Each structure stands twice: as C-alpha cells, then as structure tokens.
C-alpha cells in the first residue's frame, strides 16, 4: 500500500529486497534506523546477497558513522560499492526535490550517482571518505535537537516570568541567539498542530546515536545527553510521532506549573 503512489511509468514494485536488487545497478536505501538497514541488507533475502558485482549501494539513512563503516565492509565482501549519502530537508523540501545530500565515499562513485541525486536534491556536498556524510548529518541533527530543546526551555522560563508567547516569539526570533530554523516552527507551536515534518522519536534516535558515537570517539557531550533524555521523556508523554518541535509541549507542560498549596 505504501508503494502505490510511486508506481507507474517511473516506478515498479518488487515484493522483496532480493528481487529488486537483481534488477538494478544502483540501489538507494532510506530507512529509519541501523537495525532496519542491516535487516534489509544482510538477512537471507537481503539485497546485498543479490546485487550484481560492482553495483553501487547508496545509503541515505540517518545512522551512526561506525555502522556505515560496518556496511562498507559488508558490501566490499560481496563486491558491492558503498556510498553514505544522508539528507537534510523537511518533507516539503523532499517533495520539491530540494534536499541536501551529505556524501561520504569515493569520488568516482559520487560522479556515478550524481545525476540520480540531483533528481531528489538541489545541493550535494562531498564531505569525505566513507562515513563522513553520516558524520556530518549527525552533527547537524545534534544542533537541531539541542537547539529546539533549548528554545523550548527558554520559552518556558519566559512564560514563567510573565512574558507572553507572542512577545517571546516576536523578540527572540529577531535575535542572533535563535537559530533560523526555529522561525519555521512558530506556526506549529502557536497552533499546537505538530504534524510531523521530522518525528520527535527519530530526533531522539539520532541524538542517541550521536551519544553512542561520542562515547566511541572519547568525546564528552553533557548537553546532548541531557537533551536526548528530554526527548525520551517527551516520547513517554505521547509526543513520539509528532514533529520534534513538540518538545515545546513537554518543556512548558503541566509539570512546570506551580503545585497547589497543600492544606
């Protein structure tokens, strides 16, 4: 059912990764998390066991760099080339074909897929070797996640001090202290309509992967670790499938209200 809108002159259906991979020279994946990618690639009916020698696998999933490098080795063992090419951009940007691709891999492999990337995106950045595209996407999402959480907490403080939401939005969005992307979240917050452009549960997942990567790299990230737990608590509060800006609802929610006096 999910594939139906894609079928037609430009799209055909295959009922398994294996059947699909036998027909293509380049295969793209864009899945929710590393486990989903690994299952699609490496299980018995996975595509890596069925791609032609010298075929190219382009993984656009948001995963951790060490996982991408693990997939590089798995692909090479089967004579398959690999490129990590995660994207930034909202659902609307994706529909418009204006995504940004952050690419890690060989120059020649990028040139092979460049025309395909330009069908979906308007900008391609070759960050470096394998895993570097994934690394850059992780850094970007870390900034988005912590920035959104910090903004929500600042709004909570402002409201607690008696400032109106309108005054806070009008003032903060015009200062250098606020990242430009936050202006695009104003309508969602004011209307309390958090239809997902990027679901909160995926932001929490990306921040969890960033924390794991920091541990692997010996990097301390106390702010990120705190923020990822705020997103986890927001998920437990029922906001997981909403846009990640719904962290505002958690930050300014009932737990922030002054408790009633006890008799």
Supply the residues annotated as catalytic. 137
- Tokens 């529909």 locate to 95
The token duo for 160 is 């607690």
> Angle at which helices 222-234 and 132-160 pack, to 10 degrees?
70
139: number of Cβ within 10 Å: 12
Cα 257 to Cα 67, 153, 251, 261: the distances in Å are 42, 14, 11, 12
Residues paired with 84 in a beta bridge: 59, 104
CA–CA separation, 77 and 24 (whole Å): 19
């Amino acid at each position: 059912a999910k594939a139906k809108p894609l079928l037609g002159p430009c799209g055909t259906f295959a009922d398994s990764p294996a059947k699909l991979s036998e027909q293509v020279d380049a295969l793209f994946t864009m899945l929710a998390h590393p486990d989903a990618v690994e299952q699609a690639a490496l299980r018995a009916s996975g595509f890596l066991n069925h791609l032609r020698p010298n075929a190219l696998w382009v993984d656009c999933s948001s995963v951790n760099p060490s996982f991408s490098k693990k997939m590089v080795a798995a692909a090479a063992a089967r004579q398959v080339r690999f490129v990590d090419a995660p994207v930034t951009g909202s659902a609307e940007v994706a529909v418009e074909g204006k995504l940004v691709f952050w690419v890690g891999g060989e120059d020649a492999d990028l040139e092979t897929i460049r025309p395909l990337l330009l069908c979906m995106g308007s900008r391609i950045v070759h960050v470096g070797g394998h895993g570097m595209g994934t690394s850059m996407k992780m850094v970007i999402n870390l900034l988005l996640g912590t920035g959104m959480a910090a903004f929500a907490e600042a709004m909570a403080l402002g409201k607690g001090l008696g400032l109106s939401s309108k005054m806070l939005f009008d003032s903060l969005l015009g200062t250098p202290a606020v990242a430009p992307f936050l202006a695009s979240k104003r309508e969602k917050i004011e209307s309390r309509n958090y239809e997902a452009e990027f679901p909160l549960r995926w932001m929490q997942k990306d921040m969890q992967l960033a924390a794991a990567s920091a541990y692997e790299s010996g990097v301390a990230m106390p702010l990120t670790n705190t923020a990822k737990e705020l997103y986890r608590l927001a998920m437990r509060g029922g906001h997981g499938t909403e846009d990640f800006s719904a962290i505002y609802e958690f930050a300014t929610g009932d737990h922030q209200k002054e408790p009633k006096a006890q008799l």
